[in-house]
Every structure is written in C-alpha cells, then in structure tokens.
Chains A and B, each alone.
Chain A
Amino acid sequence: GENVEQHPSTLSVQEGDSAVIKCTYSDSASNYFPWYKQELGKRPQLIIDIRSNVGEKKDQRIAVTLNKTAKHFSLHITETQPEDSAVYFCAASRGGGYQKVTFGTGTKLQVIP
C-alpha cells in the first residue's frame, strides 16, 4: 500500500518568514496530493491540492510543488502569520473520489510573532 513520509515533524519560524514542508510517497499510481491544515480538536481543512499533471500550483501565500519522478511534493508558505500555526498534513491518493487517501505523519508549525 501507499506510504507517505513527512518532514519535519515540528517547525518554528518567525512571523514573515517562509515555511517548507516536504513529503515523499511510495505508490507510483498516486496522482492526487492534497494538503490539510488541522487545528486542535477540529477537522482537517483542505488548503491546497495538486494533481499529477501539474508540477506546481499556487494560491496566494501557499504553493505546492510536485516531482513525480522522485515521488516527492512540498508545501511552501510565504510571509507566515501567527494564524498559520497549526498541524499540516500531506496526503496521497490514486484519485477518483472512491480511492482512499493516505496521510503523512504531520508537521506542527509554530509561527512566532
């Protein structure tokens, strides 16, 4: 089955700096890669996703890059703000809506004011 590794497990940055979270996956058939933000005790919130036919996607301060050959993808948050502090999860799926999503182990991001 799919295995998703995520690094780092914790990340502290100064407000305004950038944060980068990296993930690798094992299943070459995976083609959908969502990123989630989860605050304590709440549901995961989709913040951005990318599909295998795209190498990079950006949405305001958030960007994701995908290298299918190397089987890794990364989340980039620029100009971090205290409200970005949360746990972030990468995930991978074969897509199609009925396929299961495998989550990474999570990164606790702390943005220091």
Chain B
Amino acid sequence: GAVVSQHPSWVICKSGTSVKIECRSLDFQATTMFWYRQFPKQSLMLMATSNEGSKATYEQGVEKDKFLINHASLTLSTLTVTSAHPEDSSFYICSATIAGARDEQYFGPGTRLTVT
C-alpha cells in the first residue's frame, strides 16, 4: 500500500517550453503533497507544499510563476515548469502523506528533467 507514481519518469524539452509532471497517490487519499528538486550529488530541496483545493505554499527562493503547482484532487498534484531553462534540469520528486495518518511521507519515483 501507499504507492505514489510520477509521470513521466524522464523528459527532455527545449529551452523556453513548458513541461508538466504528474504525481498520483494510487491507493490512498493525500491531502498534502510535497514537491522536491534534487540536483546531482545534492540533497532534496523542498520547493512547495501542495494541499488539495488550495494554493500551494512555496519555499523561499522558488518562483511560483515559474513552477506552477495544482492539487486538483486528493490523488493528483501537478508541477508545471514554465519557460524552462537548462538550469532547471534536475530530478523532481513528489511525496504525499495519508490523510488522517501521521508523519510518514511516501515518495514518487522521480522525474528526470533535461532542458536543452
């Protein structure tokens, strides 16, 4: 149980285009989802906290107009990287917590984004 999927697993896009990444909780309802970015050989850096039906809370330094997050249902959150640049190339990972349960985050498999 507590499976989180991400789609796509990897994507290559051209500079200036937008790309959407989906995060789904497959067998549970997730009131809260988190989006992380991880550069090579670095830690996971939280980008934003996403709550179903409300606006995402972005971490300091993360451009909310560039990284659009939508949490339209209890099982789906999306991250759209707009006007992508090569420096946005990274590993994007989402996680979700089970509504009503405590603490543990369940991570998606990640999406490798390469911007050329």
Contacts and interface: CB of A to CB of B under 8 A. Distances in A.
B104 interface: yes
Given A42-B109, A43-B110, A98-B32, A103 B44 contact: yes
Interface stretch (B12-20, B62-70, B79-87, B95-103): B95-103
Interface residues of B, number: 27
Interface string A52-92: 00000000000000000000000000000000000001000
A12 B97 CA distance: 34
What secondary structure prevails in chain B residues at the interface with A? loop
A28 to B, nearest CB: 18
Given A43-B107, A43-B109, A97 B32 contact: yes
B44 A44 contact: yes
Interface residues of A, number: 23
B46 A42 contact: no
Contact of B105 (A41, A51, A89, A101): A101
A49 B104 contact: yes
B3 to A, nearest CB: 11
Nearest to A31: B103
A95 B51 CA distance: 16
A102 B31 CA distance: 19
Contacts of A18: none
Given A43-B93, A45-B107, 18 more contacts: A32-B103, A41-B112, A42-B110, A43-B110, A46-B105, A51-B103, A96-B102, A96-B103, A97-B32, A97-B100, A97-B103, A97-B104, A98-B31, A100-B34, A100-B46, A100-B49, A101-B105, A103-B46
